Amino acid sequence: MIDLLSLSRGGSVALLVVMLVIVAAQIGLVVWLAVLHFKSRKPVAATSANETAAAPSQPKTGKGKNPALIASVKAVAILVCICFVCVALLAVCNELMYISDEERFNRSLSKIYPGFQGDSSFDQTPDSQFATNHAYKGQVKKVYKSTTGDYIIEALGGGGFQDGSVTLYVVVGADAKIKAWAVKENVGQSYIDRIPGNAGNTWYVGEDISNELALNMTGATVVATSTAINNAVNMASYYARNALGLGENPEADAQKAVAELLGDQYADYKMTSVNISRATVDGSKGVAEALSDVNNGLSYLFLMQGEANMFAYVYGAKETLKIVVVKDNAIVAKTEGVSDTDEFVVNILANPVYTFTFGSYQAYAIVTESADGVYTVAGLKVGVTPNTYVLKITVQPDTDGKGKVSAIEATVNGYVPGEPAETNTNKLITSLVGARLDNIDAWYNDKTEGGTGFVTGATQSANLIRAAVQAALTAFDASSASGN
Amino acid sequence: MDVFAIIIAALFADNFVLSQFLGICPFLGVSKKISSAAGMGIAVTAVMVITCAVCYPIYTFLLAPMGLQYLNILVFILLIASLVQILEMVLKRFSPGLYSAMGIYLPLVTTNCAILGVAKIVTNVAASAADAGFVFSDVFFGQLVSVNMAMGYGEAVLSGLFYGLGFTLAIVLLAGLRIKTDKLHVAKALRGFPMTMLAACFMAMAFYVFTLM
Amino acid sequence: MKLKKFKEIALDGVVRQNPTFRLVLGTCPTLAVTGMGAVSCLGMGAAVIFVLVFSNLIISLLRNIIPDKVRIPCFIIIIATFVTIISMFMEAFLQELYASLGMFIDLIVVNCIILGRAESFASHNPVLDSVCDGLFMGIGFTLSLTLMGIVREVLGKGALFGAQLWNFKIEFFAKPAGAFLTYALFIAIFNVCYNAVERKLKHQAAHKAALAEHQSEAAVAATEAKEA
């Protein structure tokens, strides 16, 4: 038997509080009735006459005192009583038919992973270091481990329709292969029903999580929502690779190789990958691709945290890794067999990574291409909320021979979708025409404090754009100085 | 927050009447004249905004933390009924002109599914927002622009406003169409509701285009 | 007598006052749910029948207790309670149906059919009659909903009760605009049939009456002749 006063969910106190809410909601009614009765007596008389006519069995209540008031108090009392009974009934029903969160979870899984049994000793909170990834606009919310060793990762992937997202349960087997997935919820994906019903058991199933998975949309016509699903699956495999140690992890292997090469001196340094390959818009090249073109197949570029201006360039596959570590544009270490005259080494030194510190922000810029005063520069922010801009900046000599921006165009625009960031970053980019190395501080300050305020809502973007322009101007001034 | 996206979605793509089928009864019933359609539309909009403004905090801060989500229908419908009555009183007392224009439509609004629908939509999103807290803080991902994600209080009220305006737009347009269609000589069986629905059918086709954007 | 009243209520609910086609009430779920397939229509209909029967039962029981002034809030509370119960039940035991119907289960609260029957029938009729009224109104709603659902599913998805029939489909009928068109045509066709049947019945009744009159006249004439 259910004891109303000891309902496990809700409880008697909560029940009372809700009743208070309902009663409070009815205060309006009481006031309304009171106003009706005190202000105009005639219509009341008319209604009560109707009432008695309609229900003659009910004797007229109240003698001597205001009968209308008594009637309305009685009416409200009955209403509140009905409320009480109904809420109590619902509390009982809720107790009988309660569905716990685990049950909901098991239900979503029952189709794709029947017979799931959770490993209760496993910590379901994801490792915050790998819980987000900008490339997939993704986040891992929860991780479950089954007693059989498989993992179920609740992963959100962005980049869907109207920049919405999809949250999936992705089953990653102990063998580092994707077993199945199911949609938990979505944001703004009005056509999610066009994803075939069996997609969760066919798309990406059996694929190895070691590599980034290409978009699969067999039997579906919705690119955006399929992309969000792809991002969520990739987010889950990224997490499985890095935090759960499943499958092959070429990136981690490369980091390990770099650490080995550098030895004890840099053993404490953390490396952050600057490989933001997904930051492409409309098919234009991402930073990694652009760098890879310039540097003959660059696989990874790592930033050595704790040491400014120090970067590790990694080339090739696992067995034939070539590593060049550069600090302040000079080679610190390199693997055997790499010569200073190799084309990519020349390129590395010719196209250094510029580091700029603006207040508490650190922004990086890499000139990936330069010809006839046109510089293709990637402005990067790595680490928390990484972001990328790739700008094509045309620099021409000013009257004194110093570089001056004459045209600027964004190839990859990492603005935050929505206002005011979108407008402001575009304004920022165009306003940089005419900037010189010696007046860019003034330009920037004008846009922040008391100035035109373009930076509002786009602070980090402004830093990246600024870093890119500064890098292009520095490169131009350096080349013209050496030319003279 | 991308106001433009909210407006387009609420007015056209996710139009309450023509794509979500909420609030059809007044849509068909009170669309004989443009003036009455506009009155109904404004009444619905006003109640929607107030409903979102009141239901959202009650659900998020009272019902959800105590695990009493199952009472939401009961609480919402009572809140809406009370709010409509209070609004009616306030209008009667302070703005008799406005009351005479839209007051008669207010009682009809109570049992309009569009109102309960908007309360459910806004709070449903709040429920799923609780465990997606990161999106809330991470403006960089641009998630805040999404209309359905209306997790902040401002977004909730704003979607209420624009869903209401979307309703108004649809009902006023239908009233304009009905001035023509009611005069047409059609088969007897088609007169009345069927003809109105055919007009609505053509409007739905036009509005459908926005969902393809 | 009792049977006759029962028959009247049943005919009213299913045909003469069919909530969907004759009264055009509860249009929101009709338009929305018919697009989800015939199975969802049946589920929705069952939910509405449950709520209608029980709310009519309780309201009819309490009809002498509930004061007139607060009757609408009282009805709404009672209806909301039953809607919550059926919603909980569906979520617990019929998950697929619950997922496909979504918000429209909760929106039964504001379905005009239910409040309409409470207000116009249950609040001043005996308990048994009210329950019958709720049952048959619900059946009328379910039948018309399912019929429309079948038509839209066959045309729009090429399927019937979830089973794929053929690959040919006119997607228009699965879209919002198709809902309005189907509903409009259904009302028109229902009215044509209804009027035709009614005319025929009237005609028959008139014929019968005329026949009876003729017979009685003949009888009168016969007696007169006898007397004479």
Q: Is A127 helix (H, G, I), strand (E, B) or coil?
A: coil
Kindly state whether residue A177 falls inside one of the protein's structural domains. Answer: yes
Provide the pLDDT for residue A483.
Answer: 54
Neighbours of chain B (3+ CB pairs under 8 A): A, C
Kindly state whether residue A206 falls inside one of the protein's structural domains. Answer: yes
The candidate with the shortest Cα–Cα distance to A305, out of A352, A249, A364, A358, is: A364
Same domain, A437 and A404: yes
What is the least distance, in Å, from the CA of B42 to any CA of chain C?
Answer: 20
Greater model confidence, B47 or A288: B47
Rounded Cα distance, A205 and A189, in Å: 22
Residues A29, B134: C-beta atoms closer than 8 Å: no
Provide the pLDDT for residue C54.
Answer: 93
The CA–CA distances, whole Å, from A164 to A224, A228, B147 equal 9, 8, 9
Dihedral (Cα; C47, C48, C51, C56), 10-degree rounding: -150
Is B136's pLDDT higher than 50? no
Task: Name the pLDDT band for A289 (thresholds 50, 70, 90).
Answer: low
Same domain, A165 and A283: no
Q: What is the percent of chain B where pLDDT is above 90?
A: 2
Instruction: Tell me B70's DSSP state.
Output: G
Residue B87: both structure tokens together? 């609004």
Same domain, A18 and A117: no
| CB-based contact, C64 to chain A, within 8 Å | yes
Rounded Cα distance, A175 and A411, in Å: 40
Same domain, A275 and A190: no
Which amino acid appears at position A128 of this protein? S
- Tens digits of per-residue pLDDT, A257-287? 887 777 777 666 666 666 544 434 344 455 5
Is A158's pLDDT higher than 50? yes
Closest residue in B to C25 (Cα–Cα): B25
Strands A298-304 and A310-315: antiparallel
Range name among B55-69, B124-138, C46-60 with the lowest pLDDT average: B124-138
Rounded to 5 degrees, what are φ and ψ at A436?
A: -125, 165
Kindly state whether residue A461 falls inside one of the protein's structural domains. Answer: yes
Provide the pLDDT for residue C57.
Answer: 92
Mean pLDDT of chain B: 74
Kindly state whether residue A326 falls inside one of the protein's structural domains. Answer: yes
What is the least distance, in Å, from the CA of C223 to any CA of chain B?
Answer: 49
Same domain, A165 and A238: yes
Provide the pLDDT for residue C46.
Answer: 93
Rounded Cα distance, A115 and A345, in Å: 55
Mean pLDDT of chain C: 85
Same domain, A297 and A352: yes
Contact C142, C46 (CB under 8 A): yes
Rounded to 5 degrees, what are φ and ψ at A57?
A: -70, -25
Rounded Cα distance, A261 and A322, in Å: 10
Residues A89, C68: C-beta atoms closer than 8 Å: no
Rounded Cα distance, A59 and A71, in Å: 11
Residue with tokens 């021979």: A401
What is the least distance, in Å, from the CA of C97 to any CA of chain A?
Answer: 14
Same domain, A136 and A84: no
Overall average pLDDT of the A192-208 stretch = 79
Query: B146-149: which pairs have CB atoms within 8 A and are 24 or more residues apart?
Result: B146/A162, B146/A163, B146/A164, B146/A165, B146/A187, B146/A188, B146/B5, B147/A162, B147/A188, B147/B5, B147/B6, B147/B9, B147/B10, B147/B14, B148/A164, B148/A187, B148/A188, B148/B121, B149/A164, B149/A187, B149/A188, B149/B125
What is the least distance, in Å, from the CA of B101 to any CA of chain A?
Answer: 20
Chain C, 159 to 218: residues with Cβ < 8 Å from chain B are 175-181, 183-185, 187-189, 191-192, 195
Contact residues on chain B for C175, CB-CB shorter than 8 A: 204, 208
pTM of the model: 0.63
Give the number of domains in chain A.
3
Contact residues on chain C for B70, CB-CB shorter than 8 A: 84, 88
Same domain, A55 and A170: no
- Tens digits of per-residue pLDDT, A213-255? 878 777 776 777 888 888 899 889 888 888 887 777 777 777 7
Neighbours of chain A (3+ CB pairs under 8 A): B, C
Rounded Cα distance, A125 and A140, in Å: 9
- Per the rule left: phi > 0, alpha: psi between -120 and 50, beta: everything else, A453 is left
- Owning domain of residue A351: 265-483
| CB-based contact, C65 to chain A, within 8 Å | yes
Range name among A65-69, A365-369, C84-88, C140-144 with the lowest pLDDT average: A65-69
Contact B194, B182 (CB under 8 A): no
Same domain, A350 and A453: yes
- Owning domain of residue B15: 3-211
Would you list the domain boundaries of chain C? 2-202
Provide the pLDDT for residue C52.
Answer: 92
Closest residue in B to A165 (Cα–Cα): B143
Residue B78: both structure tokens together? 């009572």
Residues B198, C112: C-beta atoms closer than 8 Å: no
Overall average pLDDT of the A369-394 stretch = 74
The candidate with the shortest Cα–Cα distance to A246, out of A302, A171, A157, is: A171
Residues A71, C67: C-beta atoms closer than 8 Å: yes
Greater model confidence, A311 or C148: C148
